[in-house]
Amino acid sequence: MIKPIIVGNWKLNGNKIFIRNFFQLLNQFLNPYHKKCTTIITPPILYIPLIQKILFSDKKNFFLGSQNVDIHTFGPFTGEVSPCMLTDIGIKHVIIGHSERRFNHKESNTLIAKKFHILKENKLIPILCIGETKEEKINKKTKEICKKQIDIIFDICGAYAFDNSIIAYEPIWAIGSNHSAKPKEAQYISYFIRNYIKSKITHKIKNFFIQYGGSVTDKNAQELILQNDIDGFLVGGASLKIKEFTKIIEIANM
């Protein structure tokens, strides 16, 4: 049985007071559960040192991650964060390809694949978001879109790209909408993604996980996690509510 990975993506939210309150409660909560499920929170990057100070040191299955990375190591790239800097402050997991970056920052499949590549070169774990828009769904293009978003990673990073990595299947229409994909629907595409990746390689893939993301809550988490090909969640809004987020972790531990 695979150990679920729950990622809480805080996006552009939080401040010092919020963080102190949130982690005081999370610290207390995580102890009995930390063996069965891996939990990762990706706060705004500048708060990571503060959170590292607040966290108990024995949280073996808890990690802080980054919401972004640049494709350069250092140099004149104002506002960016490099993979070595992430490693330097103890980060292992990095979200890339989130639809908010694809749309708001015009990030292309090629740029995202380059980010994937530099993460792998630096032994970081990519959490690659893929998924279709509402229009693409209506036009029955979901598989085609996912294939395209996966193919470019293979093209740039090679056959072992997805070893030690995470794909978050996030139908864009479900993000922040209060309407998650139906569990069977999310399972169908996650199964497709897993098999598509398997069909492109000849070795046995290692440490590869598929998450579902898009309006995950403590109400729908149970049915979603019971699906065979869903190994965890990428949670947005609900990861900012400590009660709801810990309930989701609890559900993933059952």
The answer to whether 130 and 141 have CB atoms below 8 angstroms apart is no
User: How many residues lie near ligand PGA (CB under 6 A)?
Assistant: 13
- Out of 234, 248, 249, 251, the only residue in the binding site for ligand PGA (CB under 6 A) is 234
Please report how close the Cβ of residue 169 comes to ligand PGA at its closest, in angstroms: 11
* Tokens, residue 98: 């989130």
Q: How far is the CB of 79 from ligand PGA (least distance, A)?
A: 21
Residues 6+ apart with CB under 8 A from 103: none
Instruction: Specify the 3-state DSSP secondary structure of 220.
Output: coil
Under the criterion CB under 6 A, does residue 131 sit at the interface with ligand PGA? no
Choose among 54, 85, 59: nearest CA to 72: 85
What is the spatial distance between Cα 44 and Cα 144, in angstroms, rounded to a whole number?
Answer: 32
d(CA 152, CA 158): 10
Tokens, residue 54: 């607040």
CA-to-CA distance for 133 and 171, rounded, in angstroms? 6
The residue from 80, 93, 98, 117 that is catalytic is 98
Q: Is residue 215 close enough to count as binding ligand PGA by CB under 6 A?
A: yes
CB closer to ligand PGA out of 82 and 245: 245
244 labelled catalytic: no
Distance CA(183)–CA(162), nearest Å, equals: 24
With respect to ligand PGA, which residue has the nearer C-beta, 123 or 179? 179
Instruction: Give dist(CA 82, CA 72) in Å, integer.
Output: 6
- Minimal distance, residue 67 CB to ligand PGA, in Å: 10
Residues 90-129 that bind ligand PGA (CB under 6 A): none
Q: Does 43 engage in binding with ligand PGA (CB under 6 A)?
A: no
175 touches ligand PGA (CB under 6 A): yes
Stretch that binds ligand PGA, among 47-55, 104-112, 158-166, 210-218 (CB under 6 A): 210-218
Binding site for ligand PGA (CB under 6 A): 9, 170, 175-176, 213-216, 234-238
Which residues are part of the catalytic machinery? 98, 170
